Amino acid sequence: MRPFSSSPKAPANPKDQAEQIENQILDRKPASSEDSSPLSAITKMMQGDQPSSSSSRVRSDYARLAESLEADMMRNPYADRAPPHHLHVYCHKHNTILTLTRPNGNPLMSLGTGQIGFRKGGRAGFDPAYQLSSHVMSQIQERGYLMEIKRLEVIFRGFGKGREAFTKVLLGNEGRNIRGLVSRVTDSTRVKFGGTRSRKVRRLG
């Protein structure tokens, strides 16, 4: 056995050994467990003690976090972090279909004018679409979806008469509990650039 040595014993853990070498190179003292915790640094700051290196580091981290949050709020002042539900309004010239989906795309409800009593040619037009939109608004409230929906994105598709009918219902008395949840209105109507030849135009008479 060797006599007592003056050199410090190297730590068995390679991570501790690397930290000790880094402290020797930078000529700094290893931080104790009391000073390294953010809670102790905040406690010392509340007691009026001079901030140590760890407490100043915690304070600078908090300041940096506050600056990033403030910048994000200035960029999006009315942004809500909850993902929106989607209400798809498919306005075809022969029918109107409304589909409510979760943020991940899973459908909650999908109704067309045929499911409220209109048949064949009677499904097209303003009045069937208006009655369908009013029925869907009431179903959203009766099924309790308003408790789940935090934000709602309305997605239009097509330029049928159902688009105007749905807008009137949403802005009217039937949509008073739902229009406040609408955070975005988008249009996903298909627009063809070139592509295949269109079908022959139907001519009556």
Read off the pLDDT of residues 168-201 as tens digits, 9 standing for 90 and up: 999 999 999 999 999 999 999 998 898 889 899 9
Question: For residue 111, is it within any domain?
Answer: yes
pLDDT band at 34 (very low <50, low <70, confident <90, very high): very low
Question: For residue 96, is it within any domain?
Answer: yes
pLDDT band at 33 (very low <50, low <70, confident <90, very high): very low
Tell me the mean pLDDT in the region 30-44.
51
pLDDT at residue 48 above 80? no
Give the residue numbers spanning the domain of 163: 85-187
* Contact present, 153 and 188 (Cβ < 8 Å): no
Question: For residue 19, is it within any domain?
Answer: no
pLDDT at residue 19 above 50? yes
Q: What is the pLDDT at residue 71?
A: 72
Same domain, 89 and 178: yes
pLDDT at residue 5 above 60? no
pLDDT at residue 56 above 50? yes
Question: For residue 204, is it within any domain?
Answer: no
Same domain, 97 and 116: yes
A 10 A CB-CB count for 41 gives 22
Report the amino acid identity of residue 5: S
In the chain, the percentage of residues whose pLDDT exceeds 70 is 70
Question: For residue 13, is it within any domain?
Answer: no
Q: What is the pLDDT at residue 67?
A: 76
Average pLDDT, the chain: 81
Same domain, 108 and 74: no
Residues 6+ apart with CB under 8 A from 41: 35, 51, 52, 54, 55, 58, 59
Same domain, 74 and 150: no
Q: What is the pLDDT of residues 95-132, one digit of tens each?
A: 999 999 999 999 999 999 999 999 999 999 999 999 99
Tell me the mean pLDDT in the region 32-53.
52
Q: Can you state the percent helix, strand and coil of the chain, rounding each to 5?
A: 45, 15, 40
- Count structural domains, the chain: 2
Backbone angles phi, psi at 73, to 5 degrees: -70, -35
